[in-house]
Amino acid sequence: MTQLHDLTALEQAAAVRRGEVSPTELVDHALRRIEAHDAGLGAFVTVTPERALDAAAAAERRLRDGGEQPPLLGVPTAIKDLNSTAGVRTTFGSRVTADHVPEVDDGVVTRLAAAGTISLGKTNTPEFGYPCYTDNDLVGPARCPWDPSLLAGGSSGGAAVAVAAGFVPFAQGSDGGGSIRIPASVNGLVGIKPARGRISSAPLGGDVTGLGTSGPLARTVRDAAAMLDAMAGPELGDFAWAPPLPPGETFLAAADRAPGRLRVARFTESVMPGAELQPEVVAALDEAADLLADLGHTVEEAPPGLLGPEVLAAFERVWSLSGAMLPVPEDRVGELRPITRELRSRGLAMSAREAVEGLTALRLFTRRFLQATAGFDVLLAPVTTMTPRPIGWFTDGADGAEDFERNKLYAAFTALYNVTGQPAVSVPLHWTPGGLPIGSMLVGRPADEQMLISLSAQLEAARPWAHRHPPVWGSAAG
């Protein structure tokens, strides 16, 4: 029998418009699933049932009043706990800021609400979003629903778990070095890191590095595209703006048209010394390459030597920069987790010259890399070097520096495209013999999310994945 969480986000929105289900029914169903199952998964830091039910009631009044309705009216979602939500605590995954309650919403939160979605609360994230796994001192780890002994990836691990476990059909994440694509891969989802400047970081976001952006996590390409439509758009004063879509165009429409024949480069070069792909990751990449070729695309190896050792050194400097600006009083530094203290220390120790040299090196590299790969429509690359990691794999027996080294070995490919600002997506085309998903990454030309969405939808149609669910999916809602 079909349950409400079996419906995609777009199906839920359509059912609301037709009067077949109410926003309150959708929200209540989702809240009951969270209450029944999240204690063993760690998707949420904060759940806001009263606010969600109030928003559902308001959505129903809008339906009764008639007139034009927003496209996703009544659809439940969730906001990552790195993003400010007015009147709802935003912990940034840290004990130091556990009681922080913002006075304003981030721009992406406002846009999602304007599109009609209803947030059920704040999803789990590691402290200040630094690691590529999700664990903190507030609620513990976000666990992969396919195997709860494994980490869900990060830093949008809670968002990914909420979607994969059937709590919400899609969720907002953010990605500064792979933080959408990694949990998408681990949890069998579609995760889109949009182009730099596609989604505003207003009103308070001031990431001078240009690495981070919000983006969607969803079970289907069409849901991810619809969520991107809701989030996209600049705000006055943004650091960077992606070119707007042509009039009348949407990302959702791109999912409904063929991408044409594309030239694809398989790119497995990494800036990280010692980064080797496990056999299952190689198998996932081979499977993706074969499917692309079967669909008529030209697949070839990318030219070697596009990355130099200076890229890693520059990225590490830039990644540490934000650590120097953490809102942490000196007398509470000892409460930070070891990796956060390590990166904060590196950031504070950096001279202005070193910081500027790092930023400049990445800007120059970006230009060279984009020029060198301009002949390809798409790059095909791994998301991670390994299968999902056991809980404690990054931190057991490790100080902050060793934790960071383990992060680098595991996530040796994704951050490159935060540096270049290209859009990138993880698609779940491969499952291991043990039933674990492994995503493959597709990287597009600058600001061309539409082509990536078209290609991802073509892959999904050829090898569907939305019917695959972890064991918690069929469990009673409580």
Q: Residue 46: give its domain's CATH number.
A: 3.90.1300.10
Question: 428: helix, coil or strand?
Answer: strand
Report residue 126 CA to chain centroid gap. Answer: 13
Query: Is the separation of the CB atoms in 170 and 77 below 8 Å?
Result: yes
Query: Could you tell me the two tokens for 213?
Result: 């952006």
Question: Residue 477, Cβ neighbours under 10 Å: how many?
Answer: 17
The answer to whether the peptide bond before residue 203 is cis (omega within 30 degrees of 0) is yes
pLDDT of residue 476: 80
Measure CA of the first residue to CA of the last residue in the chain; give whole Å: 17
Rounded Cα distance, 457 and 251, in Å: 11
pLDDT of residue 357: 96
As a whole number of Å, the CA-based R_g of the chain is 21
- Is residue 80 flagged as an active site residue? yes
Alpha-carbon torsion, ordered 205, 208, 211, 212, to 10 deg: -10
Q: Which domain holds residue 304?
A: 4-474
pLDDT of residue 327: 86
> Which residue out of 84, 119, 155, 270 is catalytically annotated?
155
Query: Could you tell me the two tokens for 147?
Result: 């195997």
pLDDT of residue 206: 65
Beta bridge partners of 476: none
| Domains of the chain: total | 1
Rounded Cα distance, 311 and 366, in Å: 10
> Which residue out of 84, 119, 174, 179 is catalytically annotated?
179
Residue 201: DSSP 8-state: -
Look at residues 262, 190, 193, 221 and name the one whose alpha carbon lies nearest to residue 457: 221
Q: Which residues contact 405 (CB under 8 A, 6 or more apart)?
A: none
Residue with tokens 């390590």: 342
Rounded Cα distance, 394 and 322, in Å: 21
Adjacency order of strands within the sheet including 424-431: 170-175, 213-218, 190-193, 424-431, 437-444, 378-382, 263-266, 298-301
Residue type, 408: K
- Is residue 475 flagged as an active site residue? no
Rounded Cα distance, 32 and 35, in Å: 5
Q: How many CA atoms lie within 13 A of 20 on its CB side?
A: 9
Look at residues 70, 34, 42, 44 and name the one whose alpha carbon lies nearest to residue 55: 70
Query: Could you tell me the two tokens for 292?
Result: 């692309």
> Which residue out of 80, 122, 193, 408 is catalytically annotated?
80
Question: Residue 466, Cβ neighbours under 10 Å: how many?
Answer: 18
- Is residue 155 flagged as an active site residue? yes
Look at residues 74, 79, 64, 77 and name the one whose alpha carbon lies nearest to residue 24: 74
**Residues of the chain where predicted confidence (pLDDT) is lower than 50:** 478
